[in-house]
Amino acid sequence: MPYSKLKKLISEFDQGLSSRSISSRRSEGVAHVIRRAILAGDILPGEPIRERNLAAELQISRTPVREALFILQGEGLVTLSHNRGAYVTPFTTGDIEQIYSLRRLLESHAARCAAQHHNQAQLDAIAETLAVHRQLDSRATPMEQAQADLAFHEAIAAAAGSQMLLTIAHQVLAVTFTLRSRYTYSTTYAKQVYRRHRAIFKAIEAGNAEAAGTLMAEHVTQSSELALQRLAKAVPPMNETAQPQKTSPFDDKIVEQSNT
């Protein structure tokens, strides 16, 4: 990740401080910086995130950085290891299969609940995500496509009427979003995804819980197949004892550069 890009994220962190309370803004802001870098693919699976170095670059104490890493560990984006410290969580085929199996159960249930309990404001919110998705063209970046996907699925979870379900769905979706944001849908496949999303929305709008749940389960299954295909083409993740070869913007060299 170019140092200039890290500085941009740090600038976003600084600009966001005024909109958060003193008690929570720093750990949330640091989590935002790291999360954005992970989702953009600027820090790859297995790469380290040095607590001391990031604290030095953000000119804050190590406590909010440590808290941010715990937040991201809860989201499944970061692994905290006694031997290696913090690093971006790598994905295995087994991980993806389990995550998508969980998504299939959670989101089909959420779609059924949304069909039964939605209100007009929630329907409007889902429809708005479809409108954004439809406007994406062949120039859309992987991040833009992934954000449109995520917005649709989270809007349905929000319409299910359960805060617990929404919280769990958000955590699970965050993990798959990390992988999804690294590859682009073809124009043909993007249209297929839009049609699936629209069919799910129509079933929810009609109050057809059974159809909504079935369509969502089928959609998640199709998404998992693509994710596994993409993962098979990716570089194999490092094991627990391997040392990262690529210099991370969050490793020791940042401190060395900033002190020269």
pLDDT by position in tens, the chain (length 260): 444 545 555 555 555 544 444 334 578 888 888 887 887 677 888 889 988 888 888 788 899 999 999 989 887 889 998 888 999 988 788 888 998 999 999 999 999 999 999 999 999 999 999 999 999 988 888 888 988 999 999 999 999 999 999 988 888 887 787 777 777 888 899 999 999 999 999 999 999 999 999 999 999 999 999 888 887 776 444 343 344 444 444 454 433 333 43
In sequence order, the β-bridge partners of residue 258 are none
* Segments making up each domain of the chain, as ranges: 3-90+238-258, 93-233
For residue 148, CA distances in Å to 64, 121, 125, 180, 200 come to 30, 19, 12, 11, 15
Q: Where are the alpha helices (DSSP H) in the chain?
A: 3-16, 25-39, 51-58, 62-74, 93-117, 120-135, 142-159, 163-180, 187-205, 209-233, 252-258
Q: Provide the CATH number for the domain formed by 3-90+238-258 in this structure.
A: 1.10.10.10
What residues pair up with 88 in beta bridges, in sequence order?
78
Pair of tokens at residue 191: 């249209």
Which of 37, 58, 46 is CA-nearest to residue 86? Answer: 46
SS (H, E, C) 41-103: CCCCCCCECCHHHHHHHHCCCHHHHHHHHHHHHHCCCEEEECCCEEEECCCCHHHHHHHHHHH
CB 194 within 8 A of CB 134: yes
CATH topology of domain 93-233: Four Helix Bundle (Hemerythrin (Met), subunit A) (1.20.120)
Residue 15 φ then ψ, to 5°: -65, -30
DSSP bridge pairs for 79: 87
Q: What is the DSSP letter of 161?
A: T
pLDDT for 234 equals 60
Task: State how far the Cα of 122 lies from the Cα of 101, in Å rounded to an integer.
Answer: 26
> ∠ CA(196), CA(202), CA(208), 5° rounding?
110
Burial of 116 (0-12, 13-18, 19+ CB in 10 A): middle
Confidence (pLDDT) at 13 = 53
Query: Cα separation of 38 and 1, whole Å?
Result: 10
Quote the pLDDT of residue 25: 59
